[in-house]
A and B are shown apart, each in its own frame.
Chain A
Amino acid sequence: MNTQVEDNGVTVLIKVNEDRLDAHNSGELKTQMLTYFDEGKNNLVIDLNAVRFVDSSGLGSLVSGFKNASARNGNLKLCGLQPQVRSMFELTRLHRVFEIFPDADEALASFQ
């Protein structure tokens, strides 16, 4: 999975550079998030601006990350949701679970 990562010492920003987050690649995102948790980095922002399509597996990987972050007293927040991806969160009521920001700057600022 193609991602771009920035670590500012407080939060790790993972920009997903794929147009699909689905059953084929969502496992890789889960694994990548786990490596940060294992390093004690428990505050993540996932930037989905490039993602045009998310399925239930994609949602599941984000839920998994959220649960792991919370269990470690951290947080996982989302940004850059395209309209139809946002609709998926609303359909499954996950928009009430995640804090969702328009862009990475706002998401990162919320951790300060």
Chain B
Amino acid sequence: MPENFEIDIKVPNETRYLALIGKIGEDIARTIKRYNGDRSELAYQVNLVLTEAMTNAILHAPRGGRESRQIHINISIVNNNLHIKVYDQGKGFNMDTLPPPDFNGLKEGGRGVFIIQSIMDSVSCRKENGGHVIEMIKYLP
């Protein structure tokens, strides 16, 4: 019987909540019932993509009312696939127009999206409810 699970969280869009959300993601990875891969690697990856997506949302946050000062995260397991959605009220980012990082140069930034795309099996961004959502899916063996 496939596992179905969902957790929905809203936190202030501040970097001090990255550790909390990252930890929740790790714990979810460790408690998935059927998983044949390396759990500690999966836990790190879930922590990482949540951290990268949240940081991106925080950096692009608009000034505004209460809604825009929150980040909404939804983590679900559907038919043994892990879905992570990060909603923000900012301008989001168009995955297609972002250049790959410069592996030869030494830029400080620009690795976050590459990291998400390297780890997750499917990554998409779309507009929703006046903001944006990045949806990341990992197919679990």
Contact = CB atoms under 8 A, between A and B. Distances in A.
A-B interaction: yes
B109 to A, nearest CB: 6
Interface of A: 20, 22-24, 53, 55-57, 59-61, 63-64, 66-67, 84, 87-88, 91-93, 97
6 contacts: A22-B18, A23-B51, A56-B109, A60-B108, A63-B108, A84-B40
Contact of A64 (B18, B55, B58, B108): B108
Interface residues of B, number: 25
B26 to A, nearest CB: 9
Nearest to B115: A56
Interface of B: 15-16, 18-19, 22, 40-41, 44, 47-48, 51-52, 55, 58, 101, 103, 106-109, 111-112, 114-115, 118
Nearest to B107: A63
Contacts of A64: 108
A24 B19 contact: yes
Nearest to B19: A20
A55 B52 contact: yes
B47 A53 contact: yes
Nearest to B104: A93
A23 B115 contact: no
A20 B40 CA distance: 16
Contacts of A23: 15, 18, 51, 55, 58
B111 A24 contact: no
Contact of B44 (A59, A60, A84, A93): A84
B22 A91 contact: no
A22 B115 contact: no
B109 A60 contact: yes
Give me the 7 closest cross-chain CB pairs, A-B, nearest first. A24-B15, A56-B111, A60-B108, A23-B55, A56-B112, A93-B103, A84-B44
